[in-house]
Amino acid sequence: MKNRFAYALSGSFIFIVFVFAAVCLGYVLYTFFGIFGVLGLGSYSIVMDIVALILSATFLTLLVFILTASYKIQDGTVKLKLGFWDVSSGKFKVEKVIKLVKATNTGKLYMNVYVGDNAQIVLINIRTQDTPLFTDTMKKQNPHILYEEAEITE
């Protein structure tokens, strides 16, 4: 059974990320070639080139993490994964989920869950076509979860 659901990113955001990634990758290659004198490129400051190379590689890694962000239902929790990090810190326990609500006007999915003693409403930003499978996966782990569809205004 599927327990990983891709984080829904807008097309324009993905385009911006790819442009930024291309710039970072180009700078990494330019710096790398400059450090080693490839293609006749020279280096003005080896220390600055190495720092720029490390920063660009770090940005590229973060961009990959953003593009592969997903929700994962694992070990009784709903986790928002960014790379190998659990951004939500495992605070959304499946057993504490009260209700899942799909907004009929926007297609967004909301989760009503207790975190400690406080009830919270959390947007689950997955693709609309993944909503039924996400809901079924949650209900298999906690059959007491209510599901409804409603028009929601923000």
pLDDT confidence of residue 99? 94
**Domain assignments of the chain as residue spans, ordered by start:** 4-67, 73-150
pLDDT confidence of residue 42? 65
pLDDT confidence of residue 12? 92
pLDDT confidence of residue 70? 93
Which phi and psi (to 5°) does residue 90 adopt?
65, 20
Report, as ranges of residue numbers, the positions in the chain whose pLDDT lies below 50. none
Helix ranges (H only) for the chain are 11-36, 46-67, 131-141
List the CATH code of the domain at 73-150. Answer: 2.30.29.30
* 49's tokens: 């080139």
pLDDT confidence of residue 124? 92
Nearest CA among 117, 111, 103, 121 for reference residue 73: 111
pLDDT confidence of residue 40? 65
Task: Indicate the SS3 state at residue 50.
Answer: helix
Task: Indicate the SS3 state at residue 43.
Answer: coil
pLDDT confidence of residue 43? 64
| Percent of residues, the chain, with pLDDT higher than 70 | 95
